[in-house]
Amino acid sequence: MDRVYLENEVAAQYFKKFESILGLTSVEAADVLGIHRRTFSDWKRGKYGFPDLAAKLIFDKSSLELPRTAKTVSVYKVKSEAGRKGGIIRNSLYGRPGTSKGRRRGGINSLETHSRLNSGFKLKKPFAEPIQSEDLAELFGILIGDGGMSKYQVKVTLGSASDSKYSVHVRSLMERVLGFRISVKHFHPSTIDIYLSSRSVVEYLARMGIPVGNKVKQSHRIPDWIRGNNDYLLSCLRGFFDTDGCIFLDKHSYKGRKYASLGLALTTYSEKLRMDIRSGLVRLGLPSTLSTNNNVMIRRTDKVKLFFEIIKPVNEKHLKRYRLFMEECRELVTGRSRKALS
């Protein structure tokens, strides 16, 4: 994912124009983009860069293009440069790692520490592999969305402001399925990490279809054992939408009359995964379309309502927005009916 950076004044003009085109307040604009109002305020002041996905959503809603002075930077490039600078500073302070003398000293220190603490070396944790179930399928949907695995750790990263209640559900689900106590770290004010360090669990999840490392580069998709079972497929799509989905209200005017309709999107940069998600939704009776900006879309209020009835998302931020937007649609229809009768 790339990030877009704007100068302070340019950012303010860009986001104000977005609000003006759609006739929204800052709070409403933040809701349309699926972010917290404070995050939108920071973007508007040019305090931080914002995802290119947000710029694409703004263009889809308002046909507003990015200013010419916008700078788009790869997140991977930013992290790589930060790592390079950190390595230079580390080497200047402590010397180059990986020398024979340094490895020998590290080994001696490790032995001395284990001897002093009587701790020994870490062994694999005993792990009873779970059977295939709807809970396991939902966990896979979460991991496919906002999760990831390294060689020794499985982790789900959520937004601390918008997903605080949902993080409790994710932790409980992981503990119930995997049988281990799950750790949680809050990085205020941006993220929550929910994780388990266990090579045995990582190896099991990898065999079941979750790739270790970069998911997109490995063209990850919904595993066969989930795609072949409608109950598992439904649970997996619930987990994915709860983590990587969004719901929005599409407002527009035609011949002086205002209209509003609900829409939702499930976003992934993996083409194979997008195809799996779309075919899975269709299989469950939920017509969907593929957009040009890495989204699987469901449009029209009645179709979104059917999605919530079938998939039953549990993330409170989605449920809250769904109730709010449904009420706005009802008020708009009621207002037009009263006007027609008067």
Q: Do 328 and 248 belong to one domain?
A: yes
User: Looking at residue 41, which CATH number applies to its domain?
Assistant: 1.10.260.40
The owner of tokens 């896979």 is: 140
Residue 82 lies in a domain: no
User: Looking at residue 307, which CATH number applies to its domain?
Assistant: 3.10.28.10
Q: What is the mean pLDDT of the chain?
A: 87
Give the number of other Cβ atoms within 10 Å of residue 287's Cβ: 13
Using one digit for the tens of pLDDT, what is the confidence trace for 117-162?
Answer: 777 666 667 789 999 999 999 999 999 999 999 999 999 999 877 8
Using one digit for the tens of pLDDT, what is the confidence trace for 198-250?
Answer: 999 999 999 999 999 888 888 889 999 999 999 999 999 999 999 999 999 88
Task: Indicate whether 333 pLDDT > 90.
Answer: no
Alpha-carbon distance of 12 to 313, in angstroms, equals 34
How many domains is the chain partitioned into structurally? Answer: 3
Q: Do 200 and 247 belong to one domain?
A: no
Q: Do 53 and 8 belong to one domain?
A: yes
pTM of the predicted protein model: 0.63
Task: Using a pLDDT cut of 70, give the percent of the chain over it.
Answer: 92
pLDDT at 224: 95
Choice between 331 and 271, residue whose per-residue pLDDT is larger: 271
Give the number of other Cβ atoms within 10 Å of residue 70's Cβ: 17
Using one digit for the tens of pLDDT, what is the confidence trace for 43-94?
Answer: 999 988 898 889 999 999 899 999 999 988 887 777 787 788 888 887 776 5
| Torsional sign, CA 317, 284, 224, 294 | negative
Among 218, 251, 285, which residue terminates a domain?
A: 218
Which pLDDT band, with edges at 50, 70 and 90, does 340 fall under? very low
- The string of DSSP letters for 85-121 reads HHHHHHHHHH--SS-HHHHHHHHHHHHHHHHHHT---
Alpha-carbon distance of 66 to 21, in angstroms, equals 14
Residue 118 lies in a domain: no
* Domain containing residue 213: 134-218
Using one digit for the tens of pLDDT, what is the confidence trace for 84-122?
Answer: 888 888 777 656 767 777 677 777 877 788 778 777 666
Alpha-carbon distance of 109 to 103, in angstroms, equals 10
Q: Do 210 and 266 belong to one domain?
A: no
Choice between 331 and 245, residue whose per-residue pLDDT is larger: 245
3-state SS track over 324-339: HHHHHHHHHHHHHHHH
pLDDT at 186: 85
Strands (E), 160-311: 183-187, 191-197, 245-254, 257-267, 289-290, 295-299
pLDDT at 83: 83
